[in-house]
Amino acid sequence: MTSTATRTAVVVGHGMVGHRFVEALRARDTEGTWRVIVLSEEALPAYDRVGLSSYIGNWETAALALPGNEYAGDPLVELRLGQSGAAVDRAARTVTTTTGDVLSYDALVLATGSYPFVPPVPGHENAECFVYRTLDDLDGIRAAAEAAGPGAHGVVVGGGLLGLEAANALRMLGMTPHVVEYNQRLMPAQVDEGGGAVLERLVSDLGLHVHTGVGTSSIEATGDTAANRLRITLSDESVIEAGLLVFSAGVRPRDQIARDAGLEVGPRGGIVTDLGLRTSDPNIYAIGECAAVEGVCYGLVAPGYTTAEIVADRLLGGAGEFPGADLSTKLKLLGVDVASFGDAHGTTEGALSVVLHDAAKGTYAKLVVSDDAQTLLGGILVGDASQYAALRPLVGRPLPAEPAALISPAGAELGADALPDDAQICSCNNISKGAICGAIADGACDVPGIKSCTSAGTSCGGCVPMLKKLLEQSGVAMSKALCEHFEQSRAELFQIVQVTGIRTFSGLIAKHGKGSGCDICKPTVASILASTSSEHILDGEQAALQDTNDHFLANLQKNGTYSVVPRMPGGEVTAEQLITIGQVAKEFDLYVKVTGGQRIDLFGARVEQLPLIWQRLVDAGMESGHAYGKSLRTVKSCVGSTWCRYGQQDSVGMAVLLEKRYRGLRSPHKIKLGVSGCARECAEARGKDVGVIATENGWNLYVGGNGGLTPKHAVLLAGELDDATLISYIDRYLMFYVRTADRLQRTAPWQESLEGGIDYVRSVVCEDSLGIADELERAMEQHVHGYRDEWAAVLDDPEKLSRFVSFVNAPEESDPTISFDDSGERKVPVLLGMPAVTAIAGK
């Protein structure tokens, strides 16, 4: 794209809001009239600061990177990392950067954000005192926590949203966290006294030590061990000896560059703007946390995004104005649901409160309504925020039922039909019910489709349950039918097979389906039958259900030949086995390729050669690598503590154990595992469905990492596990996935589709919330004990061997359409047409 820009916008700050502004401007500026220069104080481009805590455990900055944050291939955007704005010359319309460069602008957008407030407590400048704001801050906290050692005490000053996030971070780092809050309750801005009491009880049960109604008087360096470097005295004269302290006592707008330039700032800070986000200089705008819109600063990402969109509109000739902000919040702190919306504290004149407090369940719900109890004004939910998505859009609107009924477990269920079309469903992106229903009417038939069309649900995700309700209300029944022949979902068919003991497709479709089946239900049922028994997949009627790859126990390639992949558990292989592989490749003229999963792929085998090749490999002690099946592929590993000087555990030994345990396990989609011997993560375990990473104290278990078109990093399920616990958790996780996932659904979208996501998975796998842990483990043990190498079984069975021919009516003939080109540096297939075998024996 040739640059045609005639004007330049300089953006000072590359946080979430600054990035949103650049995205919005570039998406709308179809004529390419604006060139954008972005100054990023940090060395990394924009990342998800809201999800900062997810950095802990994996320590991968890429996992937090916002999509498109480097503007690759866009000639109209220049990103300068490690360079911020130092001074503004308003008369000359220039910005001098921290590296001395002078940049001219037609429009200047200040997106400087905020900075953590550090109370002037004596000793606050101590090296073991931190703030909780950036990735660099977390790196420093991590180093201090590791030096202090497991169980050492860590103190967080501030019990608000970020304070509890910081406390959870210390907990995840193995410390004993203390939270010091000057107010009489935690999260005073979001919850009331009753909600705060429930929240304090819930987080205390999780190991936090909460100190409310007290301040911090002094911080002293003790000169003691790393675990007790600080002596922190509170205002009630109690003392905490700790390894570190984190200040999280609120934030202040970063407005110094504006003050120095003579722009108007608010009495409590912030760059004053009008509703169009224009400052006292008409060529300068402020967005996000640094902006005081008509004197008011907003510290949430949703209103920040709105300000970014408005300035993008203004630069292109629009007249957008800030509509006000929805300050609702819904989050999960240390696994505890907390939500606050509207006038949560009942400050409106005549407001009434309806409260339901269930001490036994640890839940608190409060609705604030008008004096006639007809209009919802706000609310607070602690312990269970499942009704948040339905209640928040009703703020300021008539209630569809009695207030108490809306928060009572036995009361009225609030449906999507109770909301008018102009109700805001997604507050982060300002998407109304009408816009979402319009997208559904235009063909968006599932949640991903709605996200793609409207951007609803793409930020915090709190509105996703309502998106599902709107789909159902619009008549887009979330069909669970596997196909036209089975009304049941794959998970339901799995249960039917397991309970009834039906072992054939014909028996299953006769009793629970209709017709003769198709290429959707046949391989799906074949997979279910394989998952619930140790029968060979080519036994009896089951053989006819398999697709081409499973039918020949090999991957069909583009010219009609097959690839052969022997299993190499954990990447281990003996010299004798390597020699055999080399001999086989030479004898059968195969192309050899080392795969990304630490094994060797042999390409170009004709179907009639497969038994001959596998006989040689089986005799050498090798077995099927299942590269053809929807099953376990590989368990990748580094060399671990056996060889590597950084290794903390025997990653190879664990990888071999896991691969031998789960080999042959049939599942809804292929699954891959990885085991890294230390946090350097050489096995790339967090890109796998199950990733295991060694620590000094055991293993961290990650789940739901997938490659493909939409890569996903695995997320932490549990930490510092011993070998036995690790294996039992993986057993449960994989078998739960096998039982409940949809056809061809990988682990990442499966986890996301579950109500409660990873937290629900954790409750089932680690806490046995469904009471099925023993059952899942028994099912996995049944698989382990019943496993037999599929190729070895074929070689012992003449009937199965008879399948491996190119032409069923001329078994002695080879397919004459198969040929190769050996003229180059490597052997490649020549495509003269697809082989007849696909038509004769494909399904």
259-284 pLDDT tens trace: 999 999 999 899 999 999 999 999 99
Q: Which two three-digit tokens encode residue 459?
A: 């930020």
Q: Going edge to edge, which strands form the sheet with 107-110?
A: 77-81, 34-40, 7-12, 107-110, 284-286
Q: Which two three-digit tokens encode residue 468?
A: 């599902």
In 157-208, which residue ranges form alpha helices assigned H by DSSP?
A: 161-172, 193-205
Confidence of residue 657 (pLDDT cuts 50, 70, 90): very high
Burial class (CB in 10 A: 0-12, 13-18, 19+), 65: middle
Q: How far apart are the first and last CA of the chain?
A: 48
pLDDT score recorded for residue 577? 94
Higher pLDDT, 746 or 414: 746
SS (H, E, C) 296-355: EECCCHHHHHHHHHHHHHHHCCCCCCCCCCCCCEEEEECCEEEEEEECCCCCCCCCEEEE
Spatial separation of the C-alpha atoms in residues 426 and 463, rounded to whole Å: 6
SS3 761: helix
Fold of 328-414: Enolase-like; domain 1 (3.30.390)
How large is the average pLDDT for residues 453-460? Answer: 73
How large is the average pLDDT for residues 436-445? Answer: 83
- 642-662 burial, b if ≥16 CB within 10 A, otherwise e? eebeebbbbbbbbbbbbbbbb
pLDDT score recorded for residue 839? 33
User: What dotted CATH number matches 415-475?
Assistant: 1.10.10.1100
How large is the average pLDDT for residues 704-722? Answer: 86
Domain segments of the chain as ranges: 7-115+253-315, 129-249, 328-414, 415-475, 495-546, 554-624+810-843, 631-789
pLDDT score recorded for residue 472? 74
291-300 pLDDT, tens digit per residue, is 999 999 988 8
pLDDT score recorded for residue 333? 64
Q: Which of 274, 342, 277 is nearest to 304 (CA)?
A: 277
pLDDT score recorded for residue 168? 87
Residues 438 and 474: beta-carbon distance below 8 Å: no
10-50 pLDDT, tens digit per residue, is 999 999 999 999 999 999 998 899 999 999 999 999 998 88
How large is the average pLDDT for residues 220-241? Answer: 93
Spatial separation of the C-alpha atoms in residues 128 and 125, rounded to whole Å: 8
Confidence of residue 638 (pLDDT cuts 50, 70, 90): very high
Phi, psi of 602, deg, nearest 5: -110, 115
Residues 571 and 598: beta-carbon distance below 8 Å: yes
Higher pLDDT, 325 or 314: 314
Burial class (CB in 10 A: 0-12, 13-18, 19+), 738: buried
Higher pLDDT, 23 or 834: 23
Spatial separation of the C-alpha atoms in residues 603 and 557, rounded to whole Å: 8
Higher pLDDT, 828 or 261: 261
341-367 pLDDT, tens digit per residue, is 888 888 899 999 999 888 877 889 999
User: What dotted CATH number matches 554-624+810-843?
Assistant: 3.90.480.10
How large is the average pLDDT for residues 628-645? Answer: 90
Mean pLDDT rounded to a whole number for the chain: 87
How large is the average pLDDT for residues 706-734? Answer: 90
Region for 666 from its dihedrals, namely left if φ exceeds 0, alpha if ψ lies in -120 to 50, beta otherwise:
beta
Q: Is the pLDDT of residue 835 over 70?
A: no
Fold of 129-249: FAD/NAD(P)-binding domain (3.50.50)
Q: Is the pLDDT of residue 2 over 70?
A: no
Spatial separation of the C-alpha atoms in residues 573 and 791, rounded to whole Å: 18
pLDDT score recorded for residue 557? 81
What is the share, in percent, of the chain residues with pLDDT greater than 70?
93
* CATH top-level class of 7-115+253-315: alpha beta
383-408 pLDDT, tens digit per residue, is 888 788 778 888 888 888 888 888 87
pLDDT score recorded for residue 416? 62
pLDDT score recorded for residue 766? 95
pLDDT score recorded for residue 836? 34
Higher pLDDT, 707 or 258: 258
762-789 pLDDT, tens digit per residue, is 999 999 999 999 999 999 999 999 999 9
Task: Decide if 7-115+253-315 and 631-789 have a common fold.
Answer: no
pLDDT score recorded for residue 470? 81
Range 631-789 has CATH code 3.30.360.10: no
pLDDT score recorded for residue 763? 94
What is the share, in percent, of the chain residues with pLDDT greater than 90?
52
pLDDT score recorded for residue 838? 34
Q: Which of 458, 49, 44 is nearest to 251 (CA)?
A: 49
pLDDT score recorded for residue 554? 86
Higher pLDDT, 397 or 618: 618
pLDDT score recorded for residue 732? 97
What single string gives the DSSP state of each residue in 669-734?
A: S-EEEEEESSTT-TT-GGGSSEEEEEETTEEEEEE--B-SSS-B--EEEEEEE-HHHHHHHHHHHH
Spatial separation of the C-alpha atoms in residues 825 and 818, rounded to whole Å: 20
For residue 819, how many C-alpha atoms fall within 13 Å in the half-sphere facing its CB?
Answer: 8
SS3 626: coil
465-508 pLDDT, tens digit per residue, is 778 778 877 766 556 778 778 888 888 899 899 888 898 888 89
Q: Which two three-digit tokens encode residue 162?
A: 């970020």
- Poorest-pLDDT segment among 292-296, 458-462, 667-671, 789-793: 458-462
